[in-house]
Amino acid sequence: MSRKPIIAGNWKMNLLQSEAKDLFEGIKGFVKDYTAVELPTIVIAPVFTSLAAVETVKCDCGCGGNKINIAGQNCHWEKSGAYTGEVSVEMLADAGCSYVIIGHSERRQYFSETDEMINKKAKAILAGGLIPIICCGETLEQREAGVTDSWISGQIKAALEGISSEDVAKSVIAYEPIWAIGTGKTCDSDEANRVIAMIRSVVKEVAGAEAADAIRILYGGSVKPSTIEEQMSKSDIDGALIGGASLKADSFNEIIAKTMKLTLAAK
C-alpha cells in the first residue's frame, strides 16, 4: 500500500501573528502551482494566538483535498469547563484545525504530560473528527541503555489503548528521538527507519495489519532540506515533523519540493 507522505511544521512557541501570516503566505505562494494530489499532506502548527493568521488552503482541482492543513500544538480532552489555560478539540476545530500534535517530548518533559493524558487527548481528537499526531521518542540515556524499543513500544501501546482500528488507521505517529530535537544531530536514517518499522509492528499487534499498513509514521528531529531525501527514501518513513526548518518558508518549501519529487519519481 502506498501511503501519502506528510510534511508537518511544528512552529512551537514562535512567531507573532504578523510573522505567522508572512510564513503562511510564503508556503501558500509555493503550493499554488501544484494540486493536493501532487503535494504531500502539508500540515502547519502555529501557536494558538496565530491560528487566526493562517487558514486551510483547499485545492481547486476537484480532488476535494487540501493543500495546507492546520494543526493545534496541544489540546485538552474535556469539551469545556474550568481548565484555565487549556483549549478543547472543538475550539481547535472552530479555529480551523484538522490535526492536533500531542505528546510532544517538550510537553512530556516541561508540562508533565503522561501516556494516560495522551491517550485521553487522542480519543477526544478522534471523537471530534480531527487527526492526532502522536509523538514518541527516547532520551539519549535510554538509547545508550538499550531500552529504545521497549520504551517506545510502551508509549505507543498506551497512546492507542482503547482506540478502534479504523481510528488508529487515520492517526499519525511521529517518532522523534529526543536527543535529535533541535540539536542538529539527525538520527541515522536507517536507524530511524528501523524504529519506525518496529512502531508499525506494535500498531499491527494492537490494531491489526490493515491499520498498521495505513497509519502514517513520521520522523522528527533536526530534519532539514539536506536530510529529507534520504529520510523519505526509506521504506517505513512516511514524512517528517519539522521544528527549526519549518520556521522559514524557503527551507520548508524546499523540504516539500524534495518530498514531492521523490513521490512522483516513485510512481
Residues making contact with ligand PGA (CB under 6 A): 10, 176, 181-182, 220-223, 241-245
Q: Judged by CB, which is closer to ligand PGA: 215, or 242?
A: 242
The full DSSP string for the chain is -PPPPEEEEE--S---HHHHHHHHHHHHHHHTTS-TTTSPEEEEE--GGGGGG---EE-SSSS--EEEEEEES--BSSSSSS-TT--BHHHHHHTT-SEEEE--HHHHHHS---HHHHHHHHHHHHHTT-EEEEEE---HHHHHTT-HHHHHHHHHHHHHTT--HHHHHH-EEEE--GGGTTSS-PPPHHHHHHHHHHHHHHHHHHH-HHHHHH-EEEEESS--HHHHHHHHTSSS--EEEESGGGSSHHHHHHHHHHHHHHHHHH-
Would you call 76 a catalytic residue per the annotation? no
Query: Which of these is catalytic: 106, 113, 138, 176?
Result: 176
Q: Judged by CB, which is closer to ligand PGA: 160, or 178?
A: 178
Would you call 104 a catalytic residue per the annotation? yes
Smallest separation, CB 180 to ligand PGA (Å)? 6
Smallest separation, CB 78 to ligand PGA (Å)? 25
Query: Which of these is catalytic: 104, 106, 113, 138?
Result: 104
Q: Which residue of this chain has its Cβ atom nearest to ligand PGA in the complex?
A: 243
Smallest separation, CB 162 to ligand PGA (Å)? 26
Smallest separation, CB 185 to ligand PGA (Å)? 9
Q: Judged by CB, which is closer to ligand PGA: 211, or 220?
A: 220
Enzyme catalytic residues: 104, 176
